[in-house]
Structure 1
Amino acid sequence: MADNGDWDRRSLLRGAAVLAGAAATAPLLGEAAMAQAGSGDADALFKAGKFEQAGRAYEEILKTDPKNLHAARRRGYVGLLANQFPDAEKYLKVAIELAPDDKEANRFLADCYTRQDKLSLAAPRWQAAGEEGYAKWFAAVRGEPYQIHGDLARVPWQQMDPRPLVAASLNGGPPKSLSFYTRVPSLQVSGKAAEEAGLRAVAEERFEYEGKTITSYYGVLDSFKLGGIELRNIPVGWSDAEDGPESADGLIGTWILYHFLTTIDYAGRSLILRRRTPETARKARAAAKKPLPLWMAPEHLLFSRGSVAGSGTRVVALNIGGESEMAVSMTEETARQLRIRTDYDRPIETSAGGQFLTAYPCYPKEVRLGDAAANDLYCYADKRPGGPGREGFDVLANFSHSFFKPYNVTLDFTGMNVYIARGKAA
């Protein structure tokens, strides 16, 4: 399955049946765009992924034009990308004061509260953003969400391909086989697993997916146990989509992973969750030495910096987990501009995010994330449109399942860093 830029929240709420996703990749910035970014234009800096510089530029705009809605909203979004919650809240509240009905500002502030587990504050913001399902869902969560019991879970994978699977328990029931994927927000389970766990829907929505009408359900799970860690009182989703014979029982999404110092140990075939403490972060830094930046775009998509075929370092998407036989995907236009060898004689009819598309095998000379690099890997170039997706900035390429196999990847959602090291995690 390919990674597609039209990955929408509703299109992933099929539960375990949906295992492809994506951020839009964009053609390379042209000389004119780079020149504009260099001139200090805030929007061009943001589009080019120069987020800190863009943030400062938006602040300068607000000094002379404090009622500039776009600058306040975008400055708040810059803070949100890096989990800088005080900054994000400050500027997003300014934006909402200027325009109380602005859906984008309300969505960003809702996301900001959601990441901090302030679900009672998030619910009315989701309502103002037009997200009825999320609003009802989070309003139904009583007490402290995501209560963590235990300090460490080191869970072996049941398999590597076509997707990693780990054993977990729902509401104290027998082990279920769940995959995980950073392109999915909440914990998602199959309809059968939801029924067996005794889940009750507090909200539901209908949407179209690959020509079918799907109903997604939202509920609250009392207990989720993974290795030596138990999470209590957590949002969970499922749907009435039919689960294939080889489907997992569900997907562990980013909302679970960002509550921990998370290591996806591909080389060691294990998922490691640690309580987020200064000590665990220090050990992660020592093991990997060279951090990469980590950004999270609404509401769960992960990004860092990487390069493809001499492109120079640009923003790339991290599609960790899930399933994908290719290592990196990009638009056909990006592959053409980078002069990457592309096999147009062997088109691949695939789908992602509920959309059908055609992809072609391609073989860049090098793909790189920091010190993690590979040559002549099997990749995809596909026909999706270029340009920023809903995250609003250019994304060079999507780094997926197969790229990460020789490494262990640690996601630090406090310091907002990614650590990639070859071999098994310590």
Structure 2
Amino acid sequence: MSHRKVGQSLDRRAFLQRAGAAAAVGAALPLLGSAPSALAAADDPDQLFRQGRFADAERGYRCLMRDDPGNAHAHARIGYIALLCNRFRTAEGHLSEALTLAPDDVPSTQRLAECFVRQDQLSRAVPLMRRTGRPRDGAFAEAYSRIDGTPWQISGARDTRVPFHTLDPVPSVEASVNGGEPQKFYLDTYGTLDLSTETAQQAGLRALASWEGGVVDGHPVLIHVGVLDSFRIGDIEIRNIPVQWNDTPRPPLPDGSQAAGAFGTTIFYHFLTTMDYAHRALILRRRTVARPLPGELARLPLWLAGDHFPCTLGSLGQREPRMVTVDTGGIASAVDTTVAIAEQYGLTVDYAHPRERFGIKFYPITADRISLGGAVRRNLQGVGAEKAFPGFPGPGQSAQFGFDLIANFTHEFFKPYAVSFDYVGMKLSITRG
């Protein structure tokens, strides 16, 4: 990767993550296939959780509760594991119990709110979000409370296929805001629904609340939130949908024009979503469990952290699979990690061409081999940060999520494939185009 491309990737993340997106595997299936002897020796469910061995950790927490039914921490962690897997009934039960036992548990308060948000039960989330003391939660609580009618009301076709307008710098498609003319939107699985200020003004949106969402190029970013009457993608329309916008400059489209915004996982999880890179199309189907497809290279567990951070199992080099994030919006990059992890897993770090951003140095890296299941790519370029930090994908999210991540798989990795996100069966599948 050239010095320029590293800069492009970081510039893009300053917009799509820091400004725009600041923010079921069954319990019987162990994450990493633990051997019985290892399980017998591992008596700390917190350590198992940090390693991403969620099923083993859940069994450990349930053992703790047999001796101590009032163990608030165990209830909180079981609820969190269930939320990662979209097992909503289990998540609600244990997170509610955790809050009964420890009413000041802010993470569990936020996760219980998220449990309701993912089910579009926004009115149940509002009082919880107002209790967390977090500005973003308070802003969205205000927007949720002002939605008139059924939130996330989906109408139109059972499925739609929308061609990519661009493949690079990242995929983009056309969509319509409040019945207006179709405009170009970037696709980004690390994204929510984020508009440019110009698009928001053209759509007649009114800011119901605002919060300061970090700093880009030394300037604080003020993010506004409101309610969109209509968002149309192909033959499907979504009504009464929360939306955010800000005036941070966005990377231009190849023709020099500006995108109207970006959208990603908060829309994607309302559908069975396929980003077909190979045939350059976005496919949305009404939610159902995805069946295995002919020629499937990978069918992996899928977890959802926060409201828009998909996670799965990926490998660096020939090493065993570990937890990774899937952020499709990284310009000119296939994998993001830290230089320490890159060296640990045998990736080549180019220390001669550093790039500094946010006061942190980044280096081009080369991966001889990276894979998601049977989807294997070789000799791809990526970005390595000198250290993990919030907002940088993959390892940068470890502290926020509470479990370890080794990397983020992004744009260049997926180009030969079609990748599908099934948030009912909680599976990520990859087929070759």
CA offsets, 1:112-143, max 9 Å, x none? 00000000001111112223112212111232
For residue 258 of structure 1, what is the aligned residue in structure 2? 269
Aligned residue for 1:297?
305
Q: CA deviation at 1:228?
A: 0.9
Give the counterpart letter for 2:65 in structure 1. Answer: L
Hey, what's the Cα distance between the residues in 2 that align with 1:341 and 1:277? 41
Long gaps (5+) in structure 2: 1-5, 24-36, 389-394
Aligned to 1:384, what secondary structure does the other structure show? coil
Q: Aligned partners of 2:214, 2:313: CA distance in 1, in Å?
A: 34
The 1:197–1:287 alpha-carbon spacing in structure 2 relative to 1, beyond 3 Å, is farther
Match of 1:134 in 2: 140
Residues 43 and 36 (structure 1), Cα distance of their counterparts in 2 relative to 1, 3 Å cut: farther
1:231 aligns with 2:238: yes
Paired residues for 1:372-391 under 5 Å: 372-385=375-388, 388-391=398-401
Partner of 1:31: none
Change (3 A) 1:286 1:243: closer
CA-based RMSD of the aligned residues comes to 2.6
Query: Cα distance 1:374–1:112, how it changes in 2: closer, same or farther (>3 A)?
Result: same
Q: Is the 8 A contact 2:19 2:213 kept in 1?
A: no
Question: Relative to structure 1, is the Cα distance of residues 93 and 285 closer, same or farther in structure 2, using a 3 angstrom cutoff?
Answer: farther
User: SS where residue 169 of structure 2 aligns?
Assistant: coil
8 Å CA contact retained: 2:187, 2:264 = yes
Rounded Cα–Cα distance in structure 2 between residues aligned with 1:102 and 1:177: 41
1:37-52 to 2 correspondences below 5 Å: 39-52=42-55
Of 394, 398, 403, the residue aligned with 2:408 is 398
Query: Cα gap change, 1:291/1:37 in structure 2, threshold over 3 Å: closer, same or farther?
Result: farther
Give distance in 1, aligned partners of 2:168 and 2:375. Answer: 21
Once residues 139 and 13 of structure 1 are traced to their aligned partners in structure 2, the CA distance between those partners, rounded to angstroms, is: 25
Task: Find the residue that maps to 1:419 and give its secondary structure.
Answer: strand
1:144 deviation in Å?
A: 1.3
1:112 counterpart SS class: helix
Structure 1 residue 417 corresponds to structure 2 residue 427:
yes
Give the Cα separation in 1 of the matches to 2:360 and 2:173. Answer: 30
**1:263, distance to aligned residue in structure 2 (A):** 0.1
| C-alpha contact 2:161 2:283 (8 A) present in aligned 1 | yes
Aligned partner (choices 146, 158, 162) of residue 155 of structure 1: 162
2:28 maps to what in 1? none
TM-score, with length taken from structure 2: 0.86
Contact 1:13 1:239 in 2 (8 A): no
SS at structure 1 position matched to 2:154:
strand
- 2:189–2:326 contact (8 Å) kept in structure 1: yes
Specify whether residues 290 and 311 from structure 1 end up closer, same or farther in structure 2 by C-alpha distance, changes over 3 A only.
Answer: closer
Is 1:407 aligned to residue 414 of structure 2? no
**Structure 1 343/242 Cα, relative in aligned 2: closer, same or farther at 3 Å?**
closer
Distance apart, 1:328 and its partner CA:
0.6
363-372 or 246-255, which moves further after superposition?
A: 246-255
Q: How far does the alpha carbon of each residue in 1:7-56 deviate from its partner, in whole angstroms, 9 at most, with x for none? A: 99x994744xx8x99xxxxxxxxxxxx97995131011111111111111
Identity, % of aligned positions = 41
Unmatched 5+ stretches in structure 1: 22-33
Q: Does 1:187 align with 2:197?
A: no
Alpha-carbon distance in 2 for matches of 1:171, 1:371: 41
Q: State the AA in 1 paired with 2:370.
A: V
Structure 2 residue corresponding to 1:122, chosen from 122, 125, 135: 125
Provide Cα deviations, 1:369-422, integer angstroms capped at 9, x if missing partner: 011011121122221236822011010111011100000001000000001011
Per the alignment, residue 278 of structure 2 pairs with: 267
The CA distance in 2 between the partners of 1:146 and 1:287, in whole Å, is 34
- SS in structure 2 of the partner of residue 376 of structure 1: strand
**Within 5 A, what are the aligned runs for 1:49-198?**
49-130=52-133, 131-150=137-156, 151-184=158-191, 186-198=192-204
